[in-house]
């Protein structure tokens, strides 16, 4: 049984049919990426999975349990955490407080402290800035914080929306290194990216979205060699 199973998802914004029957699966331990152009429905897919949008049709299942009817704030408790587009750190809260909020769904204080230590191990930069207000962090640090914050909830799957957005190339490398590292520690990842080259570099498998539909799905290696993908998303002739 796949860890995450999305079946025939149809999501609307008012009358606009944004997702036209998206189906995808993510196996435990994988990095799966959704690539595609602007308005293809990548973010909408993630937002529907984590409950911020309600699909009009279709189902989202985690380990076989149907989550479609749950609200966003309940879905975290089920094991899905999201790093939102644009990072969404709480700018006026300190780094520590942001991490604590990430662990809002955990009951045990010991567990929270253990997770904080783990995040500080993963991102030592955050430890130096623990009592700093998050709004004063650089873009790269904010991305680390948003990622760390999502990991605080001990999710079984991490959804990441455009982690490379607005970051300098050097920092993009750092972020993708941590994605791989986090994955090696056993966290399954569903990654949405505009930067298809980087995304296919770390992912095991990928789906290509176009105007709300999946037009291609294959292993990351094969997608990299696919001529349609190369032309449309990797900028090759």
Nearer CB in complex with another protein: 94/211: 94
Q: What minimum distance in Å lies between the beta carbon of 150 and another protein?
A: 8
Rounded to the nearest 10 degrees, how much is the dihedral formed by the CA atoms of 91, 93, 94, 98?
A: -90
Q: What minimum distance in Å lies between the beta carbon of 73 and another protein?
A: 5
Residues that bind another protein (CB under 8 A): 50-52, 71-74, 76-77, 81-82, 84, 88, 90-93, 97, 100-102, 104-105, 149-150, 153
Nearer CB in complex with another protein: 15/227: 15
Residue (of 138, 135, 99, 137) closest to 118 by Cα position: 99
Q: What minimum distance in Å lies between the beta carbon of 28 and another protein?
A: 22
Q: What minimum distance in Å lies between the beta carbon of 175 and another protein?
A: 19
Nearer CB in complex with another protein: 20/78: 78
SS (H, E, C) 146-196: HHHHHHCCCCCEEEEECCCCCCCHHHHHHHHHHHHHHHHCCCEEEEEECCH
Nearer CB in complex with another protein: 113/228: 113
Distance CA 236, CA 228 (A): 10
Nearer CB in complex with another protein: 99/196: 99
Largest CA-CA distance found in the chain, in angstroms, rounded: 54
Q: What minimum distance in Å lies between the beta carbon of 25 and another protein?
A: 22
By three-state DSSP, how is residue 26 classified? strand
């Amino acid at each position: 049984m796949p860890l995450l199973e999305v079946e025939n998802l149809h999501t609307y914004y008012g009358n606009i049919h944004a997702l036209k029957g998206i189906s995808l699966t993510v196996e435990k331990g994988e990095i799966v990426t959704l690539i595609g152009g602007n308005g293809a429905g990548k973010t909408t897919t993630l937002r529907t999975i984590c409950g911020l949008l309600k699909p009009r049709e279709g189902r989202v299942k985690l380990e076989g349990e149907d989550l479609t009817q749950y609200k966003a704030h309940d879905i975290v408790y089920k094991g899905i955490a999201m790093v939102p587009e644009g990072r969404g750190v709480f700018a006026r809260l300190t780094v520590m407080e942001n991490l604590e909020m990430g662990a809002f769904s955990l009951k045990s204080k010991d567990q929270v402290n253990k997770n904080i230590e783990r995040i500080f191990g993963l991102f030592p930069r955050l430890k130096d800035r623990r009592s700093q207000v998050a709004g004063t962090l650089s873009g790269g640090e904010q991305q680390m914080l948003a990622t760390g914050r999502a990991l605080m909830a001990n999710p079984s799957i991490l959804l990441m929306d455009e982690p490379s957005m607005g970051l300098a190339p050097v920092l993009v490398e750092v972020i993708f290194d941590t994605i791989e590292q986090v994955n090696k520690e056993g966290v399954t990842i569903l990654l949405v990216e505009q930067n298809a080259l980087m995304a296919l570099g770390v992912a095991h498998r990928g789906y290509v979205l176009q105007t709300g539909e999946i037009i291609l799905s294959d292993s990351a290696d094969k997608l990299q060699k696919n001529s349609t993908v190369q032309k449309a998303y990797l900028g090759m002739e």
